[in-house]
């Protein structure tokens, strides 16, 4: 009886480990990206000195996972976000190394994250999707984001100057034609 107890415990431990394992190997997983959204969200915060503008880059992507052409449903996954500019190597974003992934009953998954403007860079953001308990990514999605050189009030000021010079040029054309 004593010899059977350790064997039973090992069998239960092996069964528990198999239950947490990925539904299939990473080489058999494919991903279909249903939608992707990247934009800048702006919040205006009133202060004693006036109005302060706070900008945040927003990333949202919806996708489905497949294992040997069969849709993977109701499997827990997590994500990690990496960044690269140009053709350089990817750098894992420390604050985005363990991003939650939402799932619904139809088998769709969603990843969303934000990055403050002061930390934002133009380039490719790669979302690696992992089955919970696995250390290698099952699939990846790329999201591209570009930070405008001129934005917000600077853009409004530049547009006003351009409109002024256009009006000045047109008024000069009317004076010479009279």
**H or E element in which residue 17 lies:** helix 4-20
Same domain, 30 and 69: yes
Same domain, 124 and 175: no
In a domain? residue 120: yes
Question: What pLDDT tens digit does each residue of the chain (178 aa) get?
Answer: 455 555 544 544 444 444 445 678 878 898 998 988 888 888 888 999 988 888 888 999 999 999 998 998 889 999 999 999 888 899 888 899 889 999 998 999 999 999 988 888 888 999 999 999 888 999 999 998 876 666 566 677 778 888 888 888 888 887 766 6
Q: Which two tokens stand for residue 77?
A: 């996954």
Query: What is the per-residue pLDDT for 9?
Result: 46
Same domain, 39 and 70: yes
Same domain, 34 and 115: yes
**Predicted model pTM:** 0.67
Same domain, 68 and 124: yes
Q: Which two tokens stand for residue 25?
A: 């190997």
Radius of gyration of the chain (CA): 26
> Structurally, how many domains does the chain consist of?
2
Question: How long is the chain?
Answer: 178
In a domain? residue 14: no
Same domain, 102 and 155: no
Same domain, 153 and 143: no
In a domain? residue 11: no
In a domain? residue 166: yes
The residue range of the domain holding 161 is 148-178
**Could you write out the DSSP letters of every residue in 122-166?**
SEEEEEEEEETT-SS-SEEEEEEE---SS-THHHHHHHHHHHHHH
């Amino acid at each position: 009886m004593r010899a059977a107890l350790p064997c039973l415990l090992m069998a239960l431990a092996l069964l528990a480990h198999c239950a947490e394992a990925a539904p299939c190997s990473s080489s058999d997983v494919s991903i279909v990206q249903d939608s992707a959204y990247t934009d800048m969200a702006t919040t205006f915060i009133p202060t004693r000195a006036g109005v302060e503008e706070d900008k945040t880059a927003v990333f949202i992507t919806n996708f489905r996972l497949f294992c040997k052409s069969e849709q993977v449903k109701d499997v827990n996954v997590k994500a990690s976000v990496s960044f690269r500019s140009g053709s350089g190597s990817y750098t894992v974003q420390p604050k985005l190394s363990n991003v939650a992934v939402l799932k619904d009953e139809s088998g769709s998954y969603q990843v969303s994250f934000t990055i403050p403007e002061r930390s934002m860079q133009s380039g490719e953001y790669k979302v690696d999707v992992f089955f919970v308990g696995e250390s290698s990514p099952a699939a990846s999605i790329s999201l591209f984001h570009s930070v405008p050189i001129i934005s917000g009030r600077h853009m409004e000021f530049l547009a006003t100057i351009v409109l002024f010079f256009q009006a000045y040029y047109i008024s000069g054309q009317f004076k010479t034609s009279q």
